[in-house]
Amino acid sequence: MLIARTLPDLRAALTGDIGFVPTMGALHEGHLALIAAAKRAGGKVAASIFVNPKQFGPNEDFSRYPRTEASDLEKLAAAGCHVVWLPDVATMYPDDAATMITLEGPALRWEGAVRPGHFAGVATVVAKLFGQVRPTRAYFGEKDFQQVQVIRRMVADLLLPVEVIAIPTVRETDGLALSSRNRFLSAEDRAKAPALFAALQAAATSIRGGADITETLAKACHYLMNSGLVPDYFSLVDAGSLEPLQAFTHPARILAAAKLGPVRLLDNIAV
Ligand code: AMP
């Protein structure tokens, strides 16, 4: 595995058909599922690790975001990744940089409303990474379903020559979606955390069965609160535009975020 820390190193290593997996590191089986999907498609597999300051708000956890570079590199090498790109902040955001991507549509609600500027930071860094790595295909996790729709929209709107591929969420056996931030859950909170996916499954089953949408979503929020979680949102949306649905149309998704101690859990399910 080649470890590139400068753009000339990266360019020398990357030519031809490339599957790309952008990450912020602290890698787990969810990230490795994206690497595995990239490998199955053939071609070279490139991953990046960059904790992107522009996607964290001023009161968010940028400084304490987990950084585990040595073990990440071991995992990527064992997974058969060909190149890992480790840019520094000055390469990604030179002092004279004057361009940020602004977004509407699928970026406006949900995480976009709770975390102002978050998706502008995500889209800008992903566009820069695409320009550096020049992948044929890029792999993103459905765990961050809104992020996938935002990236798809950006790729379509900016006519970027890359295919965006979404990979299903990897979960613990009790249903909790793997996340780099789960390590900050206390043992007590960890025991409560599966309630989020349980609520999503129950609500999806009810809505598929024809239950009233407003009642079902309200019931899910009560269940979360009774389980010790504080819901930010729990909403049935159109799977493309992410606009809320009053009546069930296909394809739909339930998007959910809830606070649990110091952690915000994010999850979603197809309906
Ligand atoms: P992050 O390092 O959190 O920015 O995530 C990098 C990529 O891994 C994103 O495309 C995430 O959606 C994806 N990812 C994170 N957690 C999971 C998971 N549990 N299952 C599948 N993909 C995931």
Q: Which CATH number goes with the domain that contains 263?
A: 3.30.1300.10
Query: Where is the domain boundary, 115, 136, 167?
Result: 167
Let me know if residue 174 belongs to a domain: no
**Nearest protein CA to atom 22 of ligand 1, as residue:** 141
Low-confidence ranges of the chain (pLDDT < 50): none
| Ligand 1: lining residues by beta carbon, under 6 Å | 23-24, 30-31, 33-34, 140-141, 143-144, 167, 169-170, 177-180
User: What pLDDT was estimated at residue 15?
Assistant: 86
- Nearest residue to 20 via CA among 158, 118, 167, 154: 167
Q: Of the residues 24, 84, 144, which should be mutated to test ligand 1's pocket, given the most ligand atoms within 8 Å of the CB?
A: 144
Helix axes 69-78, 29-40, angle to 10 degrees: 30
Pairing relationship of beta strands 2-4 and 83-85 according to DSSP bridges: parallel
Query: Would you call 82 a catalytic residue per the annotation?
Result: no
Q: Does 159 lie in the same domain as 31?
A: yes
| Confidence (pTM) | 0.97
Task: Indicate whether 249 and 209 sit together in one domain.
Answer: yes
User: Measuring from atom 6 of ligand 1, which residue has the nearest CA?
Assistant: 23
**Same domain as 221, residue 97:** no
* Pair (24, 133) in one structural domain: yes
3-state secondary structure of 205: helix
What's the gap in Å between 21 CA and the centre of ligand 1?
9
Judging by beta carbons within 10 Å of its beta carbon (0-12, 13-18, 19+), is residue 15 exposed, middle or buried? exposed
For residue 82, how far is its CA from the centre of ligand 1 (angstroms)?
A: 19
What gap in Å lies between CA 81 and CA 47, rounded to an integer? 7
Residues 37 and 86 in one domain: yes
The ligand 1 atom nearest the CA atom of 147: 12
pLDDT at residue 232, as a whole number: 97
In a domain, 175, yes or no: no
Average pLDDT of every residue of the chain: 97
Point out the catalytic residue in the list 28, 31, 82, 250: 31
Same domain? For 201 and 84 the reply is no
Residue 232 lies in a domain: yes
Residues 118 and 39 grouped into a single domain: yes
HSE-up (13 A, CA, CB side) for residue 138: 23
Same domain, 36 and 157: yes
Q: Which amino acid residue places its CA nearest to atom 12 of ligand 1?
A: 141
Domain holding 222, by residue range, is 180-270
CB 17 within 8 A of CB 82: no
Is 172 a domain residue?
Answer: no
Residues 39 and 131 in one domain: yes
Q: What is the whole-number distance in angstroms between the Cα of residue 95 and the centre of ligand 1?
A: 29
User: Do 146 and 220 belong to one domain?
Assistant: no
Whether residue 249 sits in one domain with residue 157: no
Residue with tokens 């110091």: 262
pLDDT at 250: 87
Residue 92 lies in a domain: yes
Same domain for 114 and 215: no
Domain count, the chain: 2
**Domain termination residue (choose one: 144, 167, 190):** 167
Given 135, 167, 199, the domain boundary residue is 167
Atom of ligand 1 minimally distant from the CA of 171 = 19
- pLDDT tens column, 219-231: 999 999 999 999 9
